[in-house]
Amino acid sequence: MNMQEKIERIRNKKAFICDMDGVIYHGNRLLDGVKEFIDWLQENERKYLFLTNSSEKSPMELQQKLARLGVSISKEHFYTSALATAIFLQTQKPNGTAYVIGEPGLINALYDVGYSMNEINPDYVVVGEAKAYNLDSVTHAVNLVVGGARLVGTNPDLTGPIEKGIMPATGALIAPIALATGVTPYFVGKPNPLMMRTALKRLGCKREETVIIGDRMDTDILSGIEAEIDSLLVLTGVTSREIINKFAYRPFLVLDGVKNIPEMLEKIELE
């Protein structure tokens, strides 16, 4: 399939699943062309869902963050690994208990499905992004897992992009607990197909009608490969062109950023 055929295939998609960190913003800086990209989605009546592996913020907080950056989107367009983790735990053990190393977005998602917090004998130890991460909380989590609590991570990301570099993400934060206990965590977020199936249901679209946009080969693009959804890699996050060739799989298309999407798709439409 040549480049023209690939672009035409993307242009015919009805729905766009888009990562956030490294795709839409870095920290509190909106990336170039994001407003124009969202305007294009809305003007062309495309369905879209911002799907983030971050468990730190709720959909409402993400909505408010983008509003502060000058982009107005309703909260229904956001889905997080915190929500996915809460739903997963509720299906596994309804109204269970958890010891959480994470931010309010994760804790509130668990409360919303009927979970309660438990520091003594929880059913699960759940780890997400955590600003209050420290040795005491890790030590406590280790002993809870040794005592029988099951270990769950909201996502496997080792790092996340920030304005001036990268920061440790859930995969890195949960590693000491896993190493100390010898227990392999179960990760709910991308590239787990659970996230992609839920996204498709929320959009009301089939995988053939959808494209996923992300900046990470090991989560976003792998999610697309495993769910058989065409994937579009942008180079505004943690992945460079040089890194792509180190993986056994490739994205459907590679672009510098989402800023290129409207121009690329409108150009072929005019030809």
Rounded (10°) angle between helices 104-112 and 81-92: 40
d(C-alpha 54, C-alpha 215), whole Å = 14
Is 32 annotated as catalytic? no
Of 21, 123, 157, 220, the active-site residue reads: 21
What pLDDT tens digit does each residue of the chain (271 aa) get?
A: 888 889 999 999 999 999 998 999 988 899 999 999 999 999 999 999 999 999 999 999 999 999 999 999 999 999 999 999 999 999 999 999 999 999 999 999 999 999 999 999 999 999 999 988 999 999 999 999 999 999 999 999 998 777 777 889 999 999 999 999 999 999 999 999 888 998 999 999 999 999 999 999 999 999 999 999 999 999 998 899 999 999 999 999 999 999 999 988 876 444 4
Q: Considering the domain boundaries, does residue 28 fall inside one?
A: yes
Q: Are 156 and 21 in contact (CB under 8 A)?
A: no
Q: Which domain holds residue 93?
A: 82-187
Residue 230 backbone zone (phi > 0: left; psi -120 to 50: alpha; other: beta): beta
Is 230 annotated as catalytic? no
What predicted TM-score, i.e. pTM, was given to this entire model? 0.89
Residues 171 and 202 in one domain: no
Q: Considering the domain boundaries, does residue 103 fall inside one?
A: yes
CATH number of the domain within which 253 lies: 3.40.50.1000
Of 19, 157, 215, 230, the active-site residue reads: 19
Residues 183 and 194 in one domain: no
Q: Considering the domain boundaries, does residue 242 fall inside one?
A: yes
d(C-alpha 249, C-alpha 224), whole Å = 11
Residues 24 and 116 in one domain: no
Q: Considering the domain boundaries, does residue 31 fall inside one?
A: yes
Look at the chain and report how many structural domains it folds into.
2
